[in-house]
Structure 1
Amino acid sequence: MKLPDMKFKKIDWCNIKATVVPGEVGIAHSYTDEENTLRTRVMVYEPGFVLDHYCDRGHVLYVIEGEIVVDLANGREFSFPAGTGFAVSDFGDKAHRMRSDNGARVFIVD
């Protein structure tokens, strides 16, 4: 990932309105900031949330609280409790999707 040209920018996450993201099961809340091709998000996954699609976009993800499970399209799955995360490139490895059995708050750069 290469960050686009941009000036120093303060992001006040407390003043960003959440958008509701319906999942295959449950909902998530996305607090999103976008600048050119860079998207940063704080995602709050409600308990039982399952993303409704597999994604091939690259991400750097950090779990702030709770736990997520990442399912890869080839059947592998990885658990990420608070304090852990992952990085994957666009079209890297296999397409992936997130779920959270008990809820989670994560920070994502993509």
Structure 2
Amino acid sequence: MKMNPFAFGTTKWADVERTEHAGDTGMAYWRTQFYGEKPNEIRVRMVEYTPGYVADHWCQKGHVLFCLEGELETTLEDGRRFVLTPGMSYQVGDNAEPHRSSTKTGAKLFIVD
């Protein structure tokens, strides 16, 4: 990720439009902001997964993901599994290790990619 210059700003996440994204089961609710200009635009999201959410795809995008609430299970394509609880994060680069997220209890995440 290259962070080209962009102006200082603050975000009141409750005021950012919420979009819905269905999983194989459950829903993901995203509040998304973009910073900088393409091709180095940075996407920053506050994401909430409902209990029982399972992603509908294997993701190859790199992220820095921080768990704020709940519990998130991330499975890598090679079968390894990682559980994040509040205060934990994971980092993965673009096209490094395909991953898929799920949660039994629900989760709230802060994600930069």
**TM-score, normalized by the shorter chain, greater than 0.5:** yes
Distance 1:73 1:52 in 2: 14
Task: Report 1:44-63 matches (<5 A).
Answer: 44-63=48-67
**In the TM superposition, what is the alpha-carbon distance from 1:23 to its structure 2 partner?**
0.2
Alpha-carbon distance in structure 2 between the residues aligned to 1:106 and 1:7: 24
Identity, % of aligned positions: 37
CA-to-aligned-CA distance 1:58-90 (integer Å, 9 cap, x gap): 100000010100011111111101110111111
Alignment partner of 1:99 is 2:102: yes
Q: Which residue of structure 2 lines up, in the alignment, with residue 76 of structure 1?
A: 80
CA distance in 2, matches of 1:3, 1:68: 27
Aligned length: 109
TM-score, normalisation: structure 1 = 0.94
CA distance in 1, matches of 2:87, 2:10: 23
1:28-67 → structure 2 map (5 Å cutoff): 28-35=28-35, 36=37, 37-67=41-71
Give the whole-Å Cα distance in 1 for the aligned partners of 2:24 and 2:86. Answer: 23
Q: Stretches of 4+ moved more than 2 A in 1? A: none
Structure 1 portions without partners, runs of 5+: none
Residue identity matched to 2:23 = G
Letter in 2 for 1:96: H
For 1:109, the equivalent position in structure 2 comes to 112
Aligned to 1:86: 90
State whether residues 4 and 38 of structure 1, in contact with CA within 8 Å, keep that contact through their aligned partners in structure 2.
Answer: no
Using structure 2 for the length normalisation, give the TM-score: 0.92
